[in-house]
Structure formats: C-alpha cells, structure tokens
Amino acid sequence: MADRAIGVWLSITARARSEGTAVGVRHAVTASGEAIGAGAVLSMSTSGGSHEPVFATDPRSDELEDLQATLGQGPSADVIDGFGPVLEGELTSTQALERWPEFSPAATARGVAAIFAVPVGVGAARLGVLSLYRDWAGPLSTDQFNALLLYADAVLMLALDERGGLAPGAADLLGEGFTARRAEVHQAAGMASVQLGVSLTDALVAMRARAYAEGRTISQVAADVVARRLSFALAESSPPRWGAPIPDQPAASSGDPPAPENDQAEDEHREGGE
C-alpha cells in the first residue's frame, strides 16, 4: 500500500510538473481519471446536502455530475447522502436502473457505461465526492479501487491546509466554480419559495422538477429565476401549477339555467311518470 501511495503522488506531481504549476486539487482529480481511464469530477457540498461539481476533466462528466445534483439521484448523490463508496460497473443493469431510474438512462444515453464514486473526507465529515465516468462496463480491480481511495485522500490533503481551512489553491477553485453557482441556486430558491408560498426545501424540489422536465440543470433554471426570465408565481389567467392553490369556482346563482344533464334527468323523470 505504501508503494501504491507513492505511485499515486508521483502521478499527481508529474501532472503538475507537465503544466509548470504547483501541485493542486485539479492535478489529483485529473490523475485519478487517467489512472482508471475515465472522466473525473470533484464535487463539493458545504452543508452535507446537495452537491455541485467544482472541477471536471471533461464537459460530459461535468454535465452528468450537475444532472445528479439536479435529480438528487445517482452514485455521487448517494455518497453525499452518507453512503460509502458506490461502484457501479454496469449502468444498464436492473439494479442500477431501479436505484437511479432517471439518472442511469441519461448517463448511458451519453455513452457512459460505469461510474465509480468515493467520498472525499474523514469519517462522517464529508467535504465532497470524487467520481469517475467510464465508457466501458466492468468492475474496478482491487488495485484500481485502492488507488481511487488514495486519490480521494490526496484530494482531501490538497484541499485542506495545515490549519484545517481551505488551501489557497482550493479556495480559488471553489471561488470560480462552486461559490457563485451555489449562491445563485440558493438565491433562486428563496425567490421561488416566496412566489409559491412554500418552504425553501419545497422550492428546490419545484426547481429540480422544472429543470428535469425541460432537460436542463438546476443551475440553468436558477439563473433564469434570478434574472427574472422565469417565475414560479401563478398568474390569475394561467392554469394551476405545482405549489399554487386551485382557485375556487364561483357557485351557480339561482337564476342560472340548469345544466344539460339536469335537463336529461328531468325528461327521464317525466317519461317514467307518464
């Protein structure tokens, strides 16, 4: 295991050296993907709840990780929810389809056959999740799995400085990719909760449902809400939508003509009485 750990760190430093930069979080994420032959994503969660991608080695992996955050389901979402490593070598299996009924088909439609997600953290304290998206099916070997755990440990060590806070490089990474996107989602949820008259949690559910129905991410829906291109408020002339009460129908006045079915019933009553 010691030799394997040395190999992991050598691959990370080699990646940084090839770029002529100091070793950072993204080098560990990139090296983990190269070791397994997969796209790699680091997602983080500041509250242990929903997660969002911070760094991805390719657009497809970034899109699918964001989709997991939107749907609230998938291997990475399970890890964030407190599961241990989630290793799915066959996304078209019955087990995977039952576990992630919306996410699995979306991932396979984009050419992903296997996903491996491991927590980044210590014990119950989760900083995030490291996920690998691979094009071909099949399990990880024991050596590959052990290496993936070591890469996750390396990500954690590079993300935290000796005082227990975020290292400067990790803070910059979060500032660019995570903080702004997360703040926008929370701002939009606050606006939607006021428009719908529901809690923040229910507003996030409504935003996720809207995003899924339109084939978009929750980040894109949030951007439209904040920019006031999209409102969850119910206009008086529009049909009822999720979270809004159905308007009461006015009662018929005594001078209104009877409904057609009442006419028919009255005719049948006359015929029966003749």
Q: Which domains does the chain have, with CATH numbers?
A: 2-159 (3.30.450.40), 168-243 (no CATH)
- CA atoms of 105 and 174, how far apart (whole Å): 30
State residue 116's pLDDT score.
97
**Which comes out higher in pLDDT, residue 134 or 257?**
134
For residue 187, the model assigns a pLDDT of 75
The model's pLDDT over 148-164, given as tens digits with 9 standing for 90+, comes to 999 998 888 887 753 34
DSSP for 6-44, please give it: HHHHHHHHHHHHHHTS---HHHHHHHHHHHHTSEEEEEE
- Give the H or E element holding residue 135: none
Q: Is the pLDDT of residue 113 over 90?
A: yes
The better pLDDT of the pair 221, 183 is held by 221
Question: To the nearest whole number, what is the mean pLDDT of the chain?
Answer: 76
Tens-digit pLDDT profile for residues 96-108 = 999 999 999 999 9
What is this structure's pTM? 0.64
